[in-house]
Structures are given as C-alpha cells and as structure tokens.
A and B are shown apart, each in its own frame.
Chain A
Amino acid sequence: KNEVEQSPQNLTAQEGEFITINCSYSVGISALHWLQQHPGGGIVSLFMLSSGKKKHGRLIATINIQEKHSSLHITASHPRDSAVYICAALTGTASKLTFGTGTRLQVTL
C-alpha cells in the first residue's frame, strides 16, 4: 500500500464544474504539497499546507490532520486547468517528499 493515495486517478469534467481531488496519507507529515504537472512535464507548487484551508483564485486546498486527509477543489473549472494534480507528503528534517500517483484532470468545453 502506498503511503500517499490519491483519488480519482482520472477525472473528466465539463467547463464550469466543481472538481474535488482527494489525498490520504499514512505517514507522519510536517506539511502536504499540492502540485500541478502540465503535459510538458514541468511541475508547479500550488499549495503547501499543514492545517486548515488555503485559497488561491479558483483553487482551494484543505487538510484534516487527525484524519490524514487532504482535498483540492477547483471551482468553475476551465480547460486550462487540464493537468495532472499530485499530492505529496513532506516528511523529516530534510523535507523529503513522498508522492501520490497523481490525478489526471481533463476539462472539456
């Protein structure tokens, strides 16, 4: 069993839909990263959070430390949101990341 699990693996949505991607982890963490990987491979850090909720534009990330669960929400989805979304658990004094397998999101018109 992976230490970081994501669901769903693949997600197709129509433009404007509200999207939720879930992440569960079994390791002790200092924080959780949400990352976005575009088709070319480049990775952008969307959020790093260790408690509560963060919001940036149409993106919202929440984390429940007791339940070891985090969610990434996209409101009013748009085709440009199409990408792979990856959650990663930050652990240890060297801030090592353990990655989920990613969620491939396709937003259509």
Chain B
Amino acid sequence: SQTIHQWPATLVQPVGSPLSLECTVEGTSNPNLYWYRQAAGRGLQLLFYSVGIGQISSEVPQNLSASRPQDRQFILSSKKLLLSDSGFYLCAWSGSLAGHEQFFGPGTRLTVL
C-alpha cells in the first residue's frame, strides 16, 4: 500500500533563516506531487505541483521554491523565511492520470518568529 511521509512535523524558525521541508511517497511510481499551505484561519492553497522529476509548476508567486530530485521525493525550500511563511504545510500525491484522488501527508506546522 502507498504511504506518504513528511518531516519535520513541527518547526520553529527565525525570520531570514532557510527552510527545507521534505515529502516522500512509498508504494507507487511516477505520482503527481503537490505542496499546499494553510495559513492561520485561512483555507488551503496550492503552492506547487509536479508531474515528474524536475518538473515543477508554481501556482502563486512567493518566497518559496520546490524541487523534485527523485520520482517520489518532493522538497519545499526557502532561502530566507518571512513571518508570512508561517502556516501548516501539506504534501499530497495522486496517480499520474487525470482525475485521480489525492492523498495527504501528516503535514508540517511551521512557525516563523
């Protein structure tokens, strides 16, 4: 069966520090991968998605970037965190064909101070 992992679970970082959040999927190949953010009191927002290694699409301009160095690994990064980057970050995967259900990781709660 497929599983999705995210780490760390929680993170407290100072403003201006770098960020690296990792997401890995097991039990499937060539998945679509997604990064979402949920700011405090707000709804979920798609940040990035990837349909293959090295292929990243950005949905909103921001202080973050994403990379997919391996088929089942998706990384969210920032060179310098802002206060507004605080939130709950979720990784998700789906099958590579259109219309497939998405499955979510446990999330990372990021607090930027």
Residues in chain A within 8 A of chain B (CB atoms): 30-31, 33, 35, 41-45, 48, 50, 86, 88, 90, 92-102
Contacts and interface: CB of A to CB of B under 8 A. Distances in A.
Given A41-B38, A41-B88, 20 more contacts: A30-B99, A31-B101, A42-B104, A42-B106, A42-B107, A43-B107, A44-B104, A45-B102, A50-B99, A90-B99, A93-B98, A94-B51, A95-B94, A95-B98, A96-B34, A96-B46, A96-B49, A97-B36, A97-B102, A100-B43
Contacts of B100: 95
B43 A102 contact: yes
Given A42-B104, A43-B90, A95 B44 contact: no
Contacts of B99: 30-31, 50, 90, 95
B102 A94 contact: no
Contacts of B5: none
B29 interface: no
Contacts of A97: 34, 36, 44, 46, 92, 102
A89 to B, nearest CB: 11
Given A96-B49, A102-B43, A41 B107 contact: yes
Size range of the chain B interface in the assembly: 20 to 34
Interface in B64-113: 88, 90, 92, 94-95, 98-104, 106-107, 109
A92 B59 CA distance: 13
A95 B32 contact: yes
A33 B66 CA distance: 25
A48 to B, nearest CB: 4
